[in-house]
Amino acid sequence: MSEQFDLSSFEKSMVIREMTHDDIESILRMQDECFPGMDPWERAHLESHLNIFPEGQFVAELDGEIIGSCSSLIINFDEYDDRHTWDDVTDEGYITNHNPDGYNLYGIEVMVHPDYRRMRVGQRLYEARKDLARALNLKSIVIGGRIPNYYKYEKEMTPREYVDAVSRHKIYDPVLSFQLMNDFTLMRVNPDYLPDDKASRKYATLMEWNNIDYKPQSKRHFKTSYPVRICVVQYQMRQITSFEDLAGQVEYFVDVASDAYSDFVVFPEIFTTQLMSFLDEPVPSIAVRKMTDYTEAYIELFTDLAVRYNVNIIGGSHFVKEEDEEIYNIAYLFRRDGSIEKQYKIHITPNERKWWGISAGDAVRVFDTDCGKIAIQICYDIEFPELARIATDMGANIIFTPFNTEDRQGYLRVRYCAQARAVENQVYTVISGTVGNLPQTENMDIQYAQSAIFAPSDFEFARDGIVGETNANVEMVLIGDVDLEILRRQRQDGTVKQLKDRRHDVYRVEYKKS
């Protein structure tokens, strides 16, 4: 018997999935239909969401078309004022206050295209949030919900009376009624929540869905510190006769760091130019290319040491020749689990260009480690405040800066800028430099350094914002502890809150790479 109809031609495919950068334009168009007259998302907001907490952003897709979306972040709700606003809890929509160690998922937006309402799109998005809260073992979902029909009743009743009437099903509100049907309970009514929400008269209902599967974890309830130990190597450049000479010096310092139970050991920028001292090549640009022949040996050495000594290594930086035959200044992260990441130097100094022909990288990266998110900004890069701000917005808590300077003026540029980055971004910064000299090596003959670990400047941090520093121009190590829990608390409740108090309505840093 033959089929009368091709059933596949009638099928529709609706999926709820994580948002991607390719969805942004569709979402921006959709919001104009969903919220006419309200301040819309900007591309920078959605890109920030995806960079910081991609798993918390969802879209509803029907036959390839975006018909709904929702955004969220994780917070510790108890840290926010009872009368907080939407701007307070979202960092004005950029969610840079997202706390992956928080207890609560906070929903900041749900929208469904008007042409596709009454298809349970919103309910599907809410269920995706609930599944996420269960998967991440979060205590609850909190939302600040609009009451868009309140403007019709404002002359007859207060916001509290209106909310009570909706709760008793005497009045229908398209948002509040929907949230109540989805098992959210009313906590309170907040005034001035969304200044541009004229229909709700700026009021919002603060509501919560409790995750009954939540399992309290004592290590989160009672955690008062999150120490990370850093060993900074101030490395002396000296004449060597083979790669094995360099490997022996490096292993010595890694051993020292491991004996001190360090989480990170940091080497200086281009300290591997020490290899030039036995290459017998007087022309710097040619010597650099010869030195790149040791890249594989360099990577194998540090990978082995990171695993064997159980410490994460910032391997200074090394000149690397890539497939395009260009030479790049690259800093590698060698994790103690054996994995490797790399950060290209983005700003090349006139000296690097003139003598060695070094090419520039073009991406800011932030790396996950077993001690939180970190960034690496090589020497000159720390002197450009935009890079540190971008890295902080991407979640970095520590910025490592391997450097190589030949005089006090150059060193102070690195030092002062690293200290400024620590203050203005509320992060820890670490600088590691070379000392000594290589008189036989053109363009690497003298070195000047005083390595250090810097903190933001506030009461809970080290006096003067200096966790520790080495003596100038002496080969030695500095071992210091930084506390990521203090950093988190100070970002929320410090004397000043540079991250939270930024005026995104006046200015912003825009990162052009997705």
Q: Is the dihedral of CA 388, 394, 398, 399 positive or negative?
A: negative
Find out whether 338 and 305 touch, Cβ atoms under 8 Å. Answer: no
Residues in contact with 106: Cβ distance below 8 Å, sequence separation at least 6, in sequence order: 72, 73, 74, 75, 77, 89, 90, 141, 142, 143
Q: Which of 68, 79, 63, 59 is nearest to 16 (CA)?
A: 59
Instruction: Please state the φ and ψ torsions of residue 366, each to the nearest 5 degrees.
Output: -125, 135
Catalytic residues: 269, 345, 379
Residues in the chain: 514
Q: Which residues of 210-242 are buried (b: 16+ CB within 10 A; e: fewer)?
A: ebeeeeeeeeeeeeeebebbbbbbbbbbeebee
The CB-side HSE value for 163 (13 A sphere, CA atoms) comes to: 20
Beta strand ranges found along 46-177 (DSSP E): 58-62, 65-75, 104-112, 140-146
CA dist., res. 268 & res. 285, Å (int): 21
Q: Which of 109, 110, 106, 108 is nearest to 74 (CA)?
A: 106
Q: Is 120 exposed, middle or buried (CB count within 10 Å of its CB: 0-12, 13-18, 19+)?
A: middle
Helix orientation angle between 385-393 and 43-52, rounded to the nearest 10 degrees: 70
> What radius of gyration, in Å, describes the C-alpha atoms of the chain?
27
CA dist., res. 177 & res. 162, Å (int): 12
CA dist., res. 343 & res. 367, Å (int): 10
Q: Which of 478, 479, 476 is nearest to 235 (CA)?
A: 476
Q: Which residues pair with 190 in a beta bridge?
A: 204
Measure the CA angle with vertex 451, ends 450 and 454; round to 5°: 120
CA dist., res. 285 & res. 4, Å (int): 76
Q: What is the CA 386 to chain-centroid distance, rounded?
A: 14
* Sheet strands side by side (includes 104-112): 14-18, 58-62, 65-75, 104-112, 140-146, 204-210, 185-190
- The residue with tokens 């008062």 is 224
Residue 280 is which amino acid? D
Tell me the three state secondary structure of residue 384.
coil
